[in-house]
Structure 1
Amino acid sequence: MLAELGSQYGRMALSGQALVTANLNLLNQLRQLTRQLQDIDQIAYEQSREATLKAYASATRDLNTFTGISLVAVLIFIVLLVIYVRRAGWAERRIRVENSRAVRLAGQKSEILAIMSHEIRNKLMAINGAVFTMKKTTLSAQQEQKLGAITLASGLVLETINNVLDASKLEQGYAQTRQSGPFKPEEAIAESIEAMRFMAENKNLQLKLLWNGHSDTIVEGDSFRLKQVLLNLLSNAIKYTDQGSVSVTAELVGAGLGHRLNVTVSDTGSGIPANRQAQLFTPYYQAGGQKPGTGLGLYLCRELIQGQGGEISLKSEVDEGTVISFWIPYKRPENLPVMH
């Protein structure tokens, strides 16, 4: 048993030595594996570091390029801005010079128109006075015809002057020429019709007025402009009517603090084609070029009526006459009681 035990002990010693040898081999292999892992990690680190450095270099390069482009763009913008500011300043100075020139020219135009109107009106007054004096004498039929032609021509010239001056005043604004005050609309319309009656009688036309409402009603407004509108409308109606009549229908409606004057001027004249009606209220336009005039009458009527807060419209058919309607609002005078 001791011999067998010694033999087994010897075998165990050999096994221990083999185990120690195996452990040493295992440690050597672990050292080698650890060394390989360190080498692999070092290589990966170096590769990652190179990639990071390349990405950083690329980003830096792109940023520098973008910054350079931005700086160039800013410099170009500053240069263009300076050029634009200088050109804008130059243009502003030119505008101020031209505006001052336009103001001076407008003042000169108004002054010239005033001087011309004064001089021409004086000459027309002299002509009308001479014609009036001659009409009191005994005249032949031919002389009366000549005087009629002179009267007509002087009336047309005076109408032209008045229209041109009124158009010039309207360019400066209606408010500067407005004359407000209490008046009776029926009286203002009747006076306008009587002022144009001689013109209608010379053409053997009937001139009629139909007033609906109270004749004594007083309103607050611009009676002069109302008469001016009616004179222009009646002048056109009589001018383009060779036979028949010219009628004025007027009505004052409303109560309390305000009134509305509705007026219609109708004639039995030649009428106006539909394709020309849209341009009738534009300056210097004449639907019938065979009649003398400035083409400012209806334009002035529209401006004067709209300047008072009203509206004007026209209906016409060829060979059936023309109907022009307008309305103007008026206030009730403060010192008068409210009508019910």
Structure 2
Amino acid sequence: MSVIYKLTFSLFALSLLVFGIYGTYQLRTEAENLRDDVEQETRLLAHSLLVSIENALRDQQPEDVQELLQQIERLRPSVDVRVYLPDDMIRSGAESLNWPQEVEQSLSRAARERAITEFYFPADEPDFLVLSLPFNEASTALPGNLAVVRSLQKMKADLNKTKTSILLSFFSFILFTSLLCFVLGHVYISRPLRELRQAMLAFRKSTEPPAPLPVTGADELASARQEFNRMTAELFSAYRRLDAETQQRRQLQRALQNADKMITIGQLSAGLAHEIGSPLQVLNGRARALAKNGEDPEEVRRIASILVDQTDRITRIVQRLLEFAPRHSAEAAPCNVIQAVAEVIDMLGFEARRQGVSMTYAHPDTLPLLLINKDGIQQIVLNLLSNALAAIIDGGSIAIDLSQGSIVYADNEIAALRLTVSDTGTGIAAEHLPHLFEPYFTTRGKQGGTGLGLAVVKTLVTEMGGSVVAETEYGRGSRFIIHLPWKPPS
């Protein structure tokens, strides 16, 4: 559907809605005004007749009442007046007019009760306005009521004329407006748009700049033509600069590739710093302990053994990085998990005591040997404990719990090793939880954090087929729960 038809139909619908609401409101207002006028005129007539009839009855001249009613019949054919007296005699100017039975009953009841009654009959589509007024006892000693029934046919006829006039005006205006909108839209919108479309088609098929479109007037379409002429000129000018920009783009791509290499080198450096930093921290702590306990041969040998293990570990890390190959998981071997975790706790014991942190280690008396990578499980515990120590300020506690549990693996529930590390540190903010295991994400960048500790934990646990869950409350501490499938040696 073209724009002109859409605009014409939209204007038609809007006019129909607006004038429909206005016409309905106008008819309702006109009906209310006519009713108010009829009611006011009927009340005025009834009170005037009431005074005259009371005077005539007080002077005992009923023939004057009959004459008055006949005059009303001649002057106002649409009004019927009756007088209800105690002897049920009805004096009226139109004895042949038959009122509806419901109206007769209502007027008779009002005469007996000497009540003022005013109502429309029927209530939904009234044909009559009924008004009954009792005689004033002070004016006449004879009780009774004056009943005035007015026909509403003239009022209905006036309303029908008003409705017809509104409908004719309404449809005439809508038809004229829609036709005018269609003609003007075709002249000022449809034709210029068609010319602009033809120019676009010619521009797409041409290899040379097309002739500029004529620009007349100062409306939006003239502005669009002017912008189209400017656009075609700029596009053909841009084609000439395309080769130079392509060359610049190639240079930019080479620069981005070099930058990507630098980023990779930076990530490799960060990984190297993290992988070697943890063993060096242990070496530093044990060297300090060795300096203080140099007189105890047993302690010296134990610390020296730890130093040898950590230097061997650094050697393996450096060898893998020099090979520039992905880290390969070491082969699993039977391992005493209780002892492997205890060795890590013992390595970090000096640093924990220096910070005023107490570490507790809960585990069963014995656990079956587990087929697992010992270096991997120790790396997991070392990273978790290092993070816990970094999160504790001004003393606190770390709890390590080792037990047997279960894990869902390949849709089957199997036995698993459960490792829990809890601390009373600062905890982790809720907005940081989704990024907790992402590489290089850290909240301790100013304190030397690399953001690789928990990423390494996640990688190692995933390689072993396990799961890791973090529970934390900001300002209260954190807890990490790790489940690893229990694989006994064959």
TM-score tier by shorter-chain length is: 0.3 to 0.5
Say which structure, 1 or 2, has more relative contact order (CA 8 Å, 6+ apart): 1
**TM-score, length-scaled by structure 1:** 0.48
Considering fraction of residues, name the structure with more helix: 1
